[in-house]
Structures are given as C-alpha cells and as structure tokens.
Amino acid sequence: MSLRIGDDAPNFTAQTTEGEIDFHQWLGNSWGILYSHPADFTPVCTTELGRTAQLKDEFAKRDTKVIAVSVDELDSHHEWIKDINETQNCDVDFPIIADMDRNVATLYNMIHPNASTSTTVRSVYFISPDKKIKAIITYPASTGRNFFEILRVIDSLQLTDKYSVATPVDWQQGQDVIISPSVKQEDVAAKFPKGHQLIKPYLRYTPQPNK
C-alpha cells in the first residue's frame, strides 16, 4: 500500500555512508527528510546531493536531518561522494543509504513500475519528530528537485504544526499567514494578538505568529 500524509513513517535498519543506522533512532527528536535517487554517478542526483550539502546550515537551523537513498552499494556511494564534492564545491557529510535489496525503496513506494521497474523516482518524504509523514513530493527521474521549495515546505510544516494557521500560495518565511477555519471568529483576537485582516469569513490573514 502506498504511504500517505499522516501515516507512520516505516522504520528500518540500513547500511549508510555514515555507518549502520536504525532510522527512527537516527532521527531522534528532529524533523527528517528522506529522499531517493535513481542511481549513483547520475548527473541530476549529483547536483541534488551537492545542493543538500551546500544547504547544511539551513537544514540545521530547522532542526532537520537529511538522509538520501540510492540502490547502489556503499563502495559506489563513497566514490560518488568524491565526485559530488569536486564538481559541486561542497562537503557531503550526511548519510546515503545503500539500498541494494531495495528494502527502503519498497517500504516508501519509491519504485513506480510504469516509470521504471528497477530505479527509484525522486521521492521526498517530510517526517515530523513523532515519526509521522507530513508531506510527500514526487518528481520523475528526469526532473531535479527544487531544494528551496523543500526548505519552504519545512518552514510551513513546522509553523502550522505549532499554530492554528495555514500558509497561502507562494508563502515565504515572514509573510502573513491564513487563520485556520477551525478558529471561531470570536476567538481570533485572543489567539492572534498581532491583529488580523478579514477578507471573507473563511479568508482571514494574520502576521506570522512566531515572527
């Protein structure tokens, strides 16, 4: 069965470039990004892993751990990392799973047979500290991911997990947010002391609560 938003994130043990891990233990109380790569020494993946390394501080600010999945073996991963560091001017220091038996790819439905029976699509799973899947983004193997969008989704998930708000179209950190429909109008003033703008009874904006 395919995983869906709100499902428990399956646990697994795996060999990685940083040693053997138990996924849930490795995550600890952090947010997590688990994302798949079709194969080692592929051009788009090389740029994606490089971008992940370059954004290390951004993920750290969000208390988010990143781990990649590729179906090749550890020795291949280690050789590939050398190429990534050289070509992308970075230092890959996050784990890459050696998923040769495709256990993780199968658990997380990363192989889509109508696209390929052997390689993974570009899946991204956003996992909260309570080990729930909070968002999923999937691209075909031919399309590189936008990691600034991945950071934006993390920002939105962390904000909406804490406050009774939603983020509108194209929202960026620091911009106004939408008050959740579940909040009664008579409770808005107390709940959102920064004020709010009533556009329609169902469309109410308020400044980002934590800014």
Residues in the chain: 211
Across-strand partners of 179?
Answer: 165
Query: Is 90 tagged catalytic?
Result: no
Query: What's the whole-number mean pLDDT along residues 80-94?
Result: 98
Q: Which of 9, 14, 33, 45 is catalytic?
A: 45
Indicate the domain borders of the chain: 13-145, 163-206
Residue 43 has pLDDT above 80, yes or no: yes
CB 182 within 8 A of CB 204: no
Architecture of domain 13-145: 3-Layer(aba) Sandwich (3.40)
Q: Which fold has domain 163-206?
A: Antioxidant, Horf6; Chain A, domain 2 (3.30.1020)
For 123-176, how does the pLDDT look when each residue is reduced to its tens digit (9 = 90+)?
999 999 999 999 999 988 889 999 999 999 999 999 999 999 999 999 999 999
Model confidence, pTM: 0.93
Residue 118 has pLDDT above 80, yes or no: no
**Distance (Å, rounded) from C-alpha 189 to C-alpha 101?**
55
Closest CA to 99 of 70, 68, 123, 120: 70
